[in-house]
């Protein structure tokens, strides 16, 4: 009897050649590094160098996070990935009333250029690739990073990294939005234009399915809704007058990797194939780099358990292997204790070591796309692709990603799938080791990392000193120029240039976001009433 995949289609006990009929093998596979990129975006993949091992870190103050970054670099991390606290993600300073109790809790607190300067103290920004998981205020954090790099003598054309900058998925699955969708898309388009001119090697967006998956999306839903968002961003940029091949090569994506290894490998391969066709056939992209779906992967935080947390080491290893076999360009492996608290130094190091074992002790890097031609994986790839394309058509029928978001379509579909999975777990039909089977009578004690609550007071003091010591008139003038640019029609004035001037004058993140709130307003979802 066939089992059912996470996406809801049957997984057969045996696959044979008949599972692959109906499609030209050249159209299905192609060659590695060539259209439709099913087998990977580069001809050699990991046979010449491994993926970027990018560990996601950040907590407390910039000083504490800087120390963690230095440790990760010393242990072999090849890319940094910054986690920001909730007030920073929402565009509030640490001394705002709404920030109380959340400063430094789920990431690092960044209020101004002074915090960003401390965060990257002693880290050569021309020699590291930095990813910043930030969305609504992504442009601000990128500009602060550029300003700090300039202080190091590093010009924008030498900076490499990624800002997530994917606000549409915030309306679907995560909730750290600030402005309504229209102004948010305008800010994304302005960032595309700015980076094309000023930071040509920077990835301007990481279109994210990860958070949808964490909210309960199936693999097919994850790639369908993510690629639909990608189409909306591309259309926004084209409508703003940009040529597709000027910005599309810097688009990147961000996906989860679950323990269902075969379906995850199929998901990654299907996503590349769909995106290549969309970019070539719908948008007329000529540059092969515009047709490539390059992506970062993070192992599935939602599958970590607080019960018997050491089991998470095994889960993460399997999830990391799925990402590698699926052809990811960079990978973050979760620490085993993240279901309990922020990872300790030891658990973060073990997470990195997991990647290093995969890269240097296994033979999965010896050949490109090891599963190519597998009856099971090729059939699953076709099945995931078909399910994703059906969902993408349903989004398009509703007017595209933004209109579908406003109708609540994606959110409702994800919640329906999440409910089904929860029911299966509660009934014991879906096994979660240590939770609904193979439990312990008594859990072993574990001492998690705790964030010092005094951090909030220290950040308040730093902000008070900043405001007392800066040129207040210069800040007011810069913020007024920013508001004027924000009031202009999209495509006429790029808000990032006056925004950079305001941040250089030591305006805070909250002050800059407040200036934009005055002009653009804030988003209130329809189901909030």
Model confidence pLDDT, tens digit, residues 496-512:
999 999 999 999 999 99
Instruction: Please measure the distance between the N-terminal and C-terminal CA atoms of the chain and give it in whole angstroms.
Output: 46
Indicate the Cα dihedral angle 176, 180, 185, 188, nearest 10°.
-40
Q: What is the pLDDT of residue 390?
A: 98
Q: What is the tens place of the pLDDT at every residue in 483-498?
A: 999 999 998 999 999 9
All structural domains of the chain, each given as residue ranges with its CATH number in brackets, are 3-398 (3.20.20.240)
Going by pLDDT thresholds of 50, 70 and 90, the confidence category of residue 344 is confident
- The CA–CA distances, whole Å, from 454 to 69, 110, 121, 256, 489 equal 22, 16, 22, 34, 44
How many CA atoms, within 13 angstroms, populate the side-chain half-sphere of residue 409?
22
Q: Would you place residue 341 in the very low, low, confident or very high pLDDT band (cuts 50, 70, 90)?
A: confident
Span 327-333, average pLDDT: 96
More confident residue, 232 or 22: 232
Integer Cα distance of 279 and 234 in angstroms:
9
Q: How far apart are CA 228 and CA 391, in angstroms?
A: 9
Residue 304, SS3? coil
pLDDT value of position 214 = 96
Q: For residue range 252-303, what is the model confidence (pLDDT) as tens digits?
A: 999 999 999 999 999 999 999 999 999 999 999 999 999 999 999 999 999 9
Q: What is the pLDDT of residue 58?
A: 73
pLDDT of the residue at 417? 97
User: Is the pLDDT reported for residue 78 higher than 90?
Assistant: no
Q: Which two tokens stand for residue 304?
A: 């970590």
pLDDT for residue 366 is more than 80: yes
Residue 1 has pLDDT above 60, yes or no: no
| Residue 349 predicted with pLDDT over 70 | yes
Q: How does pLDDT run across 110-127, given as a tens digit for each residue?
A: 999 999 999 999 999 999
For 171-221, the pLDDT digits (tens) are 999 899 999 999 999 999 999 999 999 999 999 999 999 999 999 999 999
Task: Look at residue 396 in the predicted model and tell me its pLDDT.
Answer: 98
Q: What is the pLDDT of residue 30?
A: 87
Average pLDDT over residues 324-331: 97
Residue 475: is its pLDDT beyond 80? yes
Q: Which pLDDT score is estimated for 54? A: 84
Q: Does residue 312 carry a pLDDT above 70?
A: yes
Paired tokens of 105: 């809790």
Nearest of 171, 251, 177, 184 to residue 215 by alpha carbon: 171
- Full-model pTM: 0.92
Percent of the chain predicted with pLDDT > 70: 98
Question: What is the signed CA dihedral for 293, 298, 300, 302, rounded to 10 degrees?
Answer: -110
- 449 confidence band (pLDDT: 50, 70, 90): low
pLDDT of residue 119: 96
The band of 321, judged by pLDDT with boundaries at 50, 70 and 90, is very high
- Of 17 and 177, more confident: 177
Q: What is the average per-residue pLDDT within 366-385?
A: 96
Question: Which pLDDT belongs to residue 525?
Answer: 84
**Cis upstream peptide for 36 (omega within 30°):** yes
C-beta of residue 170 within 8 angstroms of C-beta of residue 138: no
pLDDT for 130 equals 93
Contact present, 108 and 65 (Cβ < 8 Å): yes
φ, ψ dihedrals at 171, nearest 5°: -70, -25
Q: What is the pLDDT of residue 68?
A: 87
E strand or H helix that includes residue 52: strand 52-57
Helix intervals (H) in 334-408: 345-360, 375-397, 401-406
Average of per-residue pLDDT across 512-529: 88
Confidence of residue 22 (pLDDT cuts 50, 70, 90): low
Distance of CA 483 to the CA centre of its chain: 29
Give the C-alpha separation, 496 to 498, whole Å.
6
Residue range 35-62: mean pLDDT, rounded: 90
- What average pLDDT does the chain have? 94
Phi, psi of 26 (to 5 degrees): -65, -35
Contact between 207 and 166 under an 8 Å Cβ cutoff? The reply is yes
**Can you read off the two tokens belonging to residue 223?**
């790639």
Task: Give the span between the Cα atoms of 387 and 44, in whole angstroms.
Answer: 30
Residue 156 confidence class, pLDDT cut points 50, 70, 90: very high
Containing 115, the helix (H) or strand (E) segment is helix 113-119
pLDDT in tens, 426-443: 999 999 999 999 999 887
Angle separating helix axes 219-239 and 409-426, nearest 10 degrees: 160
CA distances from 336 to 147, 303, 411 (A): 35, 11, 29
Mean pLDDT lowest among 242-246, 261-265, 523-527: 523-527
d(Cα 454, Cα 412) in Å, to the nearest integer? 40
What per-residue confidence (pLDDT) applies to 500? Answer: 98
The whole-number pLDDT of residue 528 equals 56
pLDDT confidence of residue 175: 92
Structure tokens at 26: 């050249």
The residues, ordered by sequence, that sit 6+ positions from 360 with a Cβ below 8 Å of its Cβ are 50
């Amino acid at each position: 009897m066939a089992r059912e995949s996470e996406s809801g289609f049957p997984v057969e006990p045996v696959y044979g050649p008949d599972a692959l009929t109906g499609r030209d093998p050249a159209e299905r596979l192609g060659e590695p590094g060539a259209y439709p990129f099913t087998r990977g975006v580069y001809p050699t993949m990991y046979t010449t160098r491994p993926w970027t091992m990018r560990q996601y870190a950040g907590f407390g103050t910039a000083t504490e996070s800087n120390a963690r970054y230095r440790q990760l670099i010393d242990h072999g991390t090849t890319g940094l990935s910054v986690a920001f606290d909730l007030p920073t993600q929402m565009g509030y300073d640490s001394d705002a009333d709404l920030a109380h109790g959340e400063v430094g809790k789920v990431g690092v607190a960044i209020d101004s250029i002074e915090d960003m300067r401390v965060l990257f103290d002693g880290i050569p920004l021309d020699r590291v690739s930095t990813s910043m998981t930030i969305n609504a205020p992504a442009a601000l954090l990128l500009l602060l990073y550029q300003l700090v790099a300039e202080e190091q003598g590093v010009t924008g054309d030498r900076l490499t990294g990624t800002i997530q900058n994917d606000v549409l998925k915030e309306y679907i699955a995560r909730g750290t939005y600030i402005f309504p969708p229209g102004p948010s898309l305008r800010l994304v388009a302005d960032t595309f234009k700015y980076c094309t001119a000023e930071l040509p090697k920077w990835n301007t967006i990481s279109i994210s399915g990860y958070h949808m998956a964490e909210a309960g999306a199936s693999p097919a839903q994850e790639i369908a809704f993510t690629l639909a968002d990608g189409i909306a961003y591309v259309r926004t940029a084209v409508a703003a007058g940009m040529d597709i091949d000027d910005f599309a090569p810097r688009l990147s994506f961000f996906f989860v990797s679950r323990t269902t290894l075969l379906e995850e490998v199929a998901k990654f391969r299907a996503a590349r194939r769909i995106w290549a066709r969309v970019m070539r056939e719908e948008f007329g992209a000529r540059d092969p780099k515009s047709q490539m779906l390059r992506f970062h992967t993070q192992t599935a935080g939602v599958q970590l358990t607080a019960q018997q947390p050491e089991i998470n080491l095994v889960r993460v290893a399997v999830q990391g292997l799925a990402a590698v076999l699926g052809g990811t360009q960079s990978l973050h492996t979760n620490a085993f204790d993240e279901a309990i608290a922020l990872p300790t130094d030891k658990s973060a190091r073990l997470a990195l070591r997991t990647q290093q074992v995969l890269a240097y002790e296994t033979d999965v890097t010896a050949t490109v796309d090891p599963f190519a031609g597998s009856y099971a994986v090729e059939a699953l790839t076709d099945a995931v692709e078909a399910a994703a394309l059906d969902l993408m058509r349903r989004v398009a029928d509703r007017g595209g990603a933004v209109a579908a978001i406003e109708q609540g379509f994606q959110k409702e579909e994800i919640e329906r799938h999440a409910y089904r999975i929860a029911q299966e777990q509660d009934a014991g039909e879906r096994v979660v080791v240590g939770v609904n089977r193979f439990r312990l009578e008594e859990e072993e004690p574990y001492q998690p990392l705790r964030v010092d609550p005094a951090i909030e007071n220290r950040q308040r003091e730093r902000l008070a000193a900043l405001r007392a010591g800066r040129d207040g008139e210069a800040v007011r003038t810069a913020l007024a120029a920013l508001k004027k640019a924000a009031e202009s029609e999209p495509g006429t004035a790029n808000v990032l240039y006056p925004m950079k001037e305001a941040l250089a004058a030591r305006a805070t993140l909250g002050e800059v976001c407040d200036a934009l709130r005055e002009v653009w307003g804030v988003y209130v979802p329809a189901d909030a009433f």
